[in-house]
């Protein structure tokens, strides 16, 4: 399925996204501010805000934020979650099509788990034109991590994916051995110089229902054939039902990449 079609699937999970997806580490926001030097009430532009997962922590710090969201249902969720912040506006649009009012420039453009969905022929050049002199672009992700001692559930469930022809290329290296996925892309764009990267790894405990709700926010699972999704859910429930506490531990890894506009 194409990038354009996959990125549109998230809107179908709008009601699940805020609760099911994990919060980003507090240290990530501290590092973002320390590396960029931005202070409130700087004007920030968020690309692909979803329901406001990464918007709210920065709004609480007093930043003025313009948040762009492609999905209408996700944008509505974001407006609801951010209603108490007068300096935050949510606009329903793709980043590629949106244009700011004349004369408006931003101190920071950022994207949390959304940058890979933006047209690679457009995103860096457009971000650069929207930034003030000395402005920064910051992007980060939230990926599955398999550090030493990871939950063996994921080795077992991988066999189910492979039986369904939905397996991922492996083996997955531990998070500390995985390179920054964005630094080379920033440099190759010739619009940004990388000024900082940071990696964060954390763990979240899930019941079967909570983990299935999380999977229902991933584009690949949303697009999966219904029969395969039902089978996968049955296997998750079966495996966790025999555990004394009925939980699994999923590790997450986020890499923050920050570039200064050239």
Q: Please state, in angstroms and rounded to a whole number, the distance separating the CA atoms of residues 116 and 186.
A: 12
164 is a domain residue? no
Q: What does DSSP assign to residue 198?
A: E
Please state the pTM of the whole predicted model: 0.93
State residue 170's pLDDT score.
55
- Residue 75 sits in a domain whose CATH number is 3.40.50.150
In a domain, 15, yes or no: yes
Q: Are 258 and 199 in contact (CB under 8 A)?
A: no
In this predicted structure, what is the pLDDT of residue 175?
Answer: 81
Residue 151 is assigned to a structural domain of this protein: no
Work out how many domains the chain is built from and give that number.
1
98: in domain? yes
Q: Which domain holds residue 79?
A: 3-145+174-203+251-261
Amino acid 145: pLDDT: 93
Question: What pLDDT score does 32 carry?
Answer: 98
Residue 35 located in a structural domain: yes
Within a domain: residue 122? Answer: yes
Question: Which is nearest to 253 in space by CA: 170, 151, 163, 146?
Answer: 146
Which residues of 173-246 form beta strands (DSSP E)?
192-207
How far, in Å, CA of 44 to CA of 51, rounded?
A: 17
Low-confidence ranges of the chain (pLDDT < 50): none
Answer yes or no: is 216 within a domain. Answer: no
- The reported pLDDT for the residue numbered 157 is 94
- Examine residue 50 and state whether it is found in any structural domain, yes or no: yes
Neighbouring C-beta atoms of residue 70, cutoff 10 Å: 25
């Amino acid at each position: 399925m194409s990038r354009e079609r996959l990125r549109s699937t998230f809107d179908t999970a709008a009601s699940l996204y805020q609760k099911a997806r994990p919060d980003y580490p507090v240290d990530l926001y501290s590092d973002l501010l320390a590396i960029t030097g931005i202070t409130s009430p700087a004007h920030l532009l968020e690309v692909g805000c979803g329901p406001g997962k990464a918007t709210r922590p920065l709004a609480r710090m007093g930043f003025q934020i313009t948040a762009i969201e492609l999905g209408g249902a996700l944008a509505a969720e974001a407006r609801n979650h951010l209603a108490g912040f007068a300096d935050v506006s949510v606009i329903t649009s793709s980043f590629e099509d949106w244009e700011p009012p004349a004369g408006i420039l931003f101190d920071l453009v950022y994207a949390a788990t959304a940058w890979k969905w933006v047209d690679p022929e457009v995103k860096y050049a457009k971000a650069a034109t929207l930034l003030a002199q000395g402005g920064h672009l910051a992007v980060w992700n939230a990926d599955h991590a398999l550090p030493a001692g990871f939950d063996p559930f994921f080795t077992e469930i991988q066999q189910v994916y492979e039986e369904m022809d939905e397996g991922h290329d492996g083996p997955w290296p531990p998070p500390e051995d995985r390179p920054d996925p964005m630094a080379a892309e920033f440099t190759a764009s010739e619009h940004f110089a990388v000024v900082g990267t940071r990696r964060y790894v954390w763990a979240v405990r899930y019941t079967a229902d909570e983990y299935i709700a999380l999977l229902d926010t991933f584009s690949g699972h949303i697009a999966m054939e219904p029969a395969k999704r039902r089978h996968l859910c049955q296997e998750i429930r079966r495996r966790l039902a025999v555990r004394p506490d009925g939980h699994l531990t999923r590790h997450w890894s986020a890499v923050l990449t920050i570039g200064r506009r050239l």
